[in-house]
Every structure is written in C-alpha cells, then in structure tokens.
Chains A and B, each alone.
Chain A
Amino acid sequence: MDVKGSRMAKNVTGQGRPLSPHLQVYRPQLTSMLSILHRMTGVALSVGTLLLVYWLAAAASGPEAFETAQSVVGSFFGIILLFGWSWALFYHLCNGIRHLVWDAGYGFELPELYRSGWIVVGASGALTVLVWFIAIVF
C-alpha cells in the first residue's frame, strides 16, 4: 500500500494516516461484512424495482400483458431473481431496523453489535423462508 496515497491525511507529526478502513488490509469480520451488505442489498433492491414496476404496468395494460409478465416472473430465472430479492429485502429491512436502533443511541457495545448482527442474519433468513413457504402453500 502506498503510504503517500490520496486517501491519507497528514497529522500534526507529518505522518500519513488512513482516512477510512483500507479494505485490502482490513480483516473481514461480521460487523464490516453486514455493513457493506446493507449497501449492496440497497442497490440490488433499487434495481429490483424495475421488475416491480414492469409487473404493475403489465397488470394495468391488460390480461395479455399481465399473462406475459406472470410467465417472466414465474420462469426459472425469474424465481431465482425473486428469491434473491426477497432475501435482500428482508436483510435490508432487519439491518435497517438495527440502524434505527443505533440512531436512537442504543447497541454500540461490541457484544451487542455481534448479537444484533447475528439476529439480523437469522431473522432475514427466517423471514425469507416464511414468505416462500406462504408463496408455495397458498
């Protein structure tokens, strides 16, 4: 790593200090992985809204367009995308609630960070399984 890199700040002693965690030398851990996953799922969900709007617009266009949209959504590739998006939605939702709790000023101690992190992992998985169970059964 170039210590004279652009993302370094000079401190009072004139030494370069990193401004933000350097991912190349930063050991992966639950907290950092969940953090970047929040952004990634957010971007993925934004892209996913394209399918949502297509599905609604098709329904508004009439029975034939809706039929086509349903077969696109129900195709193998469509199901894979929907499964991924449903998990992304529940992950972003659960971790978003975790963020709101932090915003309220709670849960910053390291053991609490790990506990809430694992709760988010478990809850997002459980909600994904539940919603697909409902989708298949009903």
Chain B
Amino acid sequence: MSFKSHLGRVRGLGSAKEGSGHWWSQRLSAIALVPLTIWFAFSVAAHTGADYEAMRAWVGSPVVAALLILTITAVFYHAYLGLQVVIEDYVHHEGVKVAGLILVKGACIVLGLVGVLSVLSLLFASSQ
C-alpha cells in the first residue's frame, strides 16, 4: 500500500528521504499491539504470585508462547520506531544523535532477542 502521490513519487521521498515507510510501520505495529498488550497485561495480572511451575506451564502452551513472541517483537519494533523519532526531534548534535540511534537500535534488537529466546526455552523445557 502506498501513500505517495504521483508527484511525490516523481520528486523523490521527501525531506526525510524515506517516504511514508516509517509512519506506516509505526501504525501497523500499533494496531498489532492493541490486542496483544491488552491480552498480555490481563494475563500477567491473572498470574500474579504464580510459582515457577505455573509460569512454565503457562508459557509451555504454544498459543501463549506464540502470542508472547508476537508481543515482544511488536513491542521492540514499535519502541525503536518511537524512540528514533524522539531522538531525532530533541538531540541536535549530529554525533550524539547518530550514537543514540545506534545504541537504541542495538538495545531493542538485543532485548527483543533475549525475550524471544527466553520464551522459546520455556516452551521447549516444558515439553520435555
């Protein structure tokens, strides 16, 4: 789906040089996160005080593990897109800005990966 006008397509991708891609990705991840965060918040609330076995049994369900991985992926993608805009808006020193963007992107990738691998490890541990 393209939001670019015919004129816009001819002249290029605008001042940001990337067109509407960022905006559209932010909206898509936001729409995905509406049901996912509601499910996550209320599921965690219903499991307060759960012990290790209960936690392992909960994440051991493929449906729960899939929803958790989708939530983690969408959260870190959406967080990166949002933090990127905040840094671009408020950090005016070019070097600090680029360093901040790289740091935030790296942190989102590492945290997302650790989260997904934790869910997978709980899923496979419970099936043994």
Contacts and interface: CB of A to CB of B under 8 A. Distances in A.
Contacts of A8: none
Contacts, number: 83
B41 A49 contact: no
Chain B interface size, as a band, is: 20 to 34
Interface in A94-115: 96-97, 99-100, 103
B118 A57 contact: yes
- The secondary-structure label for the interface of chain B is helix
Contact of B34 (A59, A60, A93, A138): A93
Contacts of B55: 59, 66
Interface of B: 27, 30-31, 33-34, 37-38, 41-42, 44-46, 48-49, 52, 55-56, 59, 68, 75-76, 79, 82-83, 86, 111, 114-115, 117-119, 121-122, 125
Given A56-B119, A70-B49, A131-B42, 4 more contacts: A46-B82, A49-B111, A96-B30, A136-B48
